[in-house]
Amino acid sequence: MRFVIDGMTIEAQAGDTILTACRRAGYYIPHLCFHGDLPAQGNCRLCLVESKGRLLPSCLTKVTDGMEVASATEQLHTLRLRLTQMLFVEGNHICPSCEASGNCMLQALGYRLGLLDNHYPQFFPRRPLDASHPQMILDFNRCIQCQLCVRASDQLDQKHAFVVAGRGGEAHITASSSNGQLGSTSFAATDHAAGICPVGVFLGKGVGYVTPIGERRYDRADIAQAGDRNA
């Protein structure tokens, strides 16, 4: 089975989505909430592509033989830029002081898209830190609600250590325990959930800045070449 994206023909296997086929072929489509070990959920919408005049999440859209898809268009670039700017303003992303700087997929996507300003007013939300766990701090100021930690803990670790609480604009990730604290769950720093965050929510205690700023994954190469930090 074959399809065409941005004029390039790509081979796909049965059951492939546009995103999985493109990833196998080394063709980059921006994404933040997708991970190859988990079913796609379509949360971030950064992977939108266009086919027959419709915008489709490439992580959820199955390839059909001969389909024609566009990803590298001006319209999609602007949409992705606006989505990324929304993610920046609705959290507190202070890149220069963040331990994940240079390893953060949101920051790397901002660079790739040429993000130079917020475009939208900054929300400055008040979000808690959770330092209750002996090995890990959670800084929810950086959470983009991709829900990868929730899904990884459920489906890869079988621990259900995280949950989405609240609804609509109040929705947020929290530890799934009676007091809402990570230290009261069975989470361990070696869990899949600990390493799957695309940004900088999960901070190991007792370590920091082991790799100097300037020598990190996305300091050295664009995200399209450097790949996912959580792969």
CB of 166 to ligand FES, least distance (A): 20
Subset of residues 117 to 156 that bind ligand FES, contact rule: CB under 6 A: none
Q: From 61, 86, 58, select the one nearest 71 (Cα to Cα).
A: 58
Site for ligand FES in 33-92 (CB under 6 A): 33-34, 40, 42-47, 57, 59
By the 10 Å C-beta count (0-12 exposed, 13-18 middle, 19+ buried), 158 is classed as exposed
Interface with ligand FES includes 31 (CB under 6 A)?
yes
Q: HSE-up of 106 (CA within 13 Å, CB side)?
A: 29
Question: Helix (H, G, I), strand (E, B), or coil: what is residue 184?
Answer: helix
CB of 28 to ligand FES, least distance (A): 12
Residue 43 and residue 145 in contact, taking contact as beta carbons nearer than 8 Å: yes
How far apart are CB 71 and ligand FES at their closest, in Å? Answer: 12
Give the nearer residue to ligand FES in terms of CB position, either 10 or 18: 18
Name the token pair of 44.
Answer: 């971030």
Which helix (H) or strand (E) covers residue 57, if one does?
strand 54-57
Q: Residue 184 Cβ, how far from ligand FES at the closest point, in Å?
A: 30
Which span (25-33, 80-88, 101-109, 209-217) binds ligand FES, by CB under 6 A? 25-33
Residues that bind ligand FES (CB under 6 A): 31-34, 40, 42-47, 57, 59
